[in-house]
Amino acid sequence: MKVKNTDNINNSLRYLQQKKAVFDENKKDKFIIEGLGGKKKLNGKIAVAGAKNAALPALSASILFRNGFCVSNIPNIKDIDSMNILLEKLGAIVKKQAEKKYHIVTDEIKSVALDIEISKKMRGSIILTGVLLARFGKVSFPHPGGCIIGARPIDAFLNSFQKMGAKVQNRNGKYVVSVGKNKKLKGAKIFFNKITVTGTETLMLAGILAKGRTVIENAALEPEIKHLADFLNSCGAKIRGAGTSTIEIIGGNLLSAGNRAYKIPPDRIEAGSFLILGALSADNLEITDCDPKHMRALINILKDSGVPIIEEKNKIIIKDNGKIKNKHLKCIDIKTHEYPGFPTDLQSLMAIYLTQISGESLLFETIFEGRLNYTDDLINMGANIIMIDTHRIMIKGPTQLKGRELIGNDLRAEFAFFIATIVAKGKSVINNVRYIDRGYERIEERLSGIGVNIQRIKG
């Protein structure tokens, strides 16, 4: 059903206010990109970094270990820096042992209050709440922040903590959650009304030190969850069903890693980002250090559309793509869905793809109501997009995009702007680089390596 005009106007005003606030905060660094004018000229290899969405839960899990443990293949991004600072402010010892490898010891933690400023800017900080509550019986934190992509309530977290025997209070804008003196969290049956990845991770980790049996129903299925659970089980945890919709955890004692180091799996969202870029702008591109099995929805859609993709064990190859004109690629519709469906984190990037192929495509964002706000910027670049409502847009292509000055309002939309400006004709400027730095490691260096004309200008 179509949203009322007044709702659309109010949403647009809120978005403009949010963008202004974000821009005011980050006026310094910017990227300048010279577009390819629709030509497929990129070539070479680009490696995928470790997954941000696996690294943050892994670092949080350090609180469950006695004598510390090592995490390797950590991406070099701002969110990792922020998580490490959060841990250090609690009293943890975080040591960088080698490039992308950290050793974390949490035995001397003295505080259970998450830093307010960092937590307000970082949604992933909430994963720390469950482990702190499970180990120390108390945690305090502000409402977590992050990207501007719509409402992201934390009721599911708070209600679950209450089911596990905790008391939740709101004091001066902070949540204070506690289980009382000399008490522990109790195992409980938890059903998520809406699938939540961070909720699943937070409660799975909390259940490891809870008393008794915790069952999470309608759990997220993301492969990063099972990957972490398997490692935790090797260290003494008792988790069953990770990677399915029902996870069971039998609580016990602190974990011990011994000589084990947890290696972060490849970032399937980053791999997907490079794959969409390659589909539009590369002749021959090899995306290495990734797992194609975890990207089935995207790969199948692009193949069905006509993109020449070869899958190997740890790489994806786009071969002789320059021979294929975009106008000959097949029209497709996109509907986001929780894993293993099409990722919401890639829908803004696919919107760029849809502007370049022939026909009308419907893009349906089913998860976040604020995640289509980037469309005004694409229209200003020349895209033919009709906003149906806050969840659906109709895109007609192909259209020639033109370079513009842009401001990202969330991590994935900002990378979508990177793709749009690479495809476009002329020069573009992308401001507000804090979002891209939060999730993509050394992005200008890596894109330059495959032929993108990109420059970071320091403020």
User: In 3D, which of 242, 201, 221 has the Cα closest to residue 297?
Assistant: 221
State whether residue 288 is helix, strand or coil: strand
Residue 235 a catalytic site member:
no
Rounded to 5 degrees, what are φ and ψ at 141?
-165, 155
* Sequence-ordered list of residues with C-beta below 8 angstroms from that of 125, at least 6 positions apart, any chain: 82, 83, 86, 114, 118, 119, 141, 144
Calculate the CA 366 to chain-centre distance: 16
Residue with tokens 């259970």: 112
State whether residue 328 is helix, strand or coil: helix
User: What element of type H or E holds 133?
Assistant: helix 127-136
Rounded to 5 degrees, what are φ and ψ at 179?
-115, 5
* Sequence-ordered list of residues with C-beta below 8 angstroms from that of 241, at least 6 positions apart, any chain: 219, 247, 248
Q: Which of 147, 235, 290, 331 is catalytic?
A: 147
Query: Nearest 5 degrees, angle CA 436-CA 95-CA 314?
Result: 55
Whole-angstrom CA distances from 352 to 57, 281, 433, 447 are 31, 11, 20, 17
Task: Enter the tokens of residue 335.
Answer: 């509907």
Task: Enter the tokens of residue 354.
Answer: 């849809």
**Cα–Cα distance, 397 to 87 (Å, whole number):** 48
Torsion of CA 438, 225, 95, 89, to 10 degrees: 70
Return the active site residues.
147
